Structure 1
């Protein structure tokens, strides 16, 4: 499998006993059902758990499904916040998952105050080392109760369960959130897209700052609520990457 990597790319194997990439449609009744594929936002969250600074933005390029897609339904007792006690609900998880992920980071141009922290060689060196170590923070597969694990891999290596299937369409899926610190707007939007897996690989469209509903970029979005970005300052509440590298 040919693999053309963007600059500052990392590749890793992501595994876990269970995963819950929640389909928002199923949450209305208090129960949750996982998409059959990991969402862009969930994989981006994994990348940020591996390594993140506010001066960079992780872009997930593609994911390869290694294990067959299996589901497992469990009875859960979520907390009832309007009165004492618990409810009874059924959550449908993915079971025994394994994915190969390719992602790269770019500079967050909406944070000009962190321009001095844009030293790609140092950031990339740390990111590679953190993949080797399994991440700087805990890895989750969609939700906190689904623990994940990462390790280095070569994207496209080995046998995958769907390598011989030319195309599987999954319809309209949640893609990601458009946060204020990545768009420059004081708004939170949710993005959607039409997911297709080809020969076991899902290639994600790159998010843009264009949040106009009729922009023609092929990624519908919806306004969620007003939100403002957190302020960061080097040497104040952000450690420069040179100091981060020296401490690891």
Structure 2
């Protein structure tokens, strides 16, 4: 077990998109572990450490709201990027005015969570002067001062997250669901496992989504490192 921290995050809106919903975006009931890790990495990311989310406490009531947002309807094809990297003259711009689409989204409103997490050292990336104490104190200093590499967000970049470091001496806020013994929130995205293979002069990249059965007990979700799918 590495050095542990507790971070309180909140926001007016959040959207942790379910991957099975393609046409209109629908949020999970609560924050996903990968979204929680993204907030931690926004405050402190270093190749020598790896953040691991231990538990997520749902502080506020789960409340949904339907909104409509403008989005672009397409992405830049990867083959165009590959061609541009090879020296070809390819237009890599997107023109929102020509490709704008309005879509409905079912988002979470007035969210607040406690993230309990720790980091572990990445042996292949550790430098001579890298120590757990160094990165732990670095995170504490940045979190207390509100510093971050980029503004953390709750699922989508337009939904900014506020964060506050919770010291172990401080009293933790109680969950809205503290009196509910158990709630089954169904299958949820745990993380995405990335892979890299080299062969025949090319590098092939792959990714595999991992899911786990989310059980909230007294407002707390224990994030197991053993996933079901």
Matching residue of 1:151: 164
Check conservation: 1:33, 1:93, Cα contact below 8 A.
yes
Matching residue of 2:78: none
TM (norm. structure 2) is 0.80
- Matching of residue 141 in structure 1 with residue 154 in structure 2: yes
Given candidates 118, 130, 135, the residue that maps to 2:142 is 130
* 1:135–1:60 Cα change, 3 Å: farther
Higher CA-based Rg:
2
- CA distance in 1 between counterparts of 2:146 and 2:118 reads 17
Check conservation: 2:11, 2:110, Cα contact below 8 A.
yes
Matching residue of 1:22: 17
Matching residue of 1:205: 224
Matching residue of 2:83: none
- Matching of residue 9 in structure 1 with residue 28 in structure 2: no
- CA distance in 2 between counterparts of 1:35 and 1:135 reads 28
Q: Could you tell me how far 1:129 is from its partner in structure 2? A: 1.1
Q: Deviations 1:190-231 (Å, cap 9, x if unpaired)?
A: 11000000000001012xxxxxxxxxx5431xxxxxxxxxxx
Secondary structure of the 1:89 match is strand
- CA distance in 2 between counterparts of 1:219 and 1:20 reads 24
Over aligned residues, Cα RMSD in angstroms? 2.1
Secondary structure of the 1:157 match is coil
Q: Which has the higher contact order (CA 8 A, sep 6+)?
A: 2
- Matching of residue 161 in structure 1 with residue 170 in structure 2: no
Check conservation: 1:163, 1:199, Cα contact below 8 A.
yes
- CA distance in 2 between counterparts of 1:79 and 1:57 reads 33
Matching residue of 1:70: 63
- CA distance in 2 between counterparts of 1:64 and 1:113 reads 31
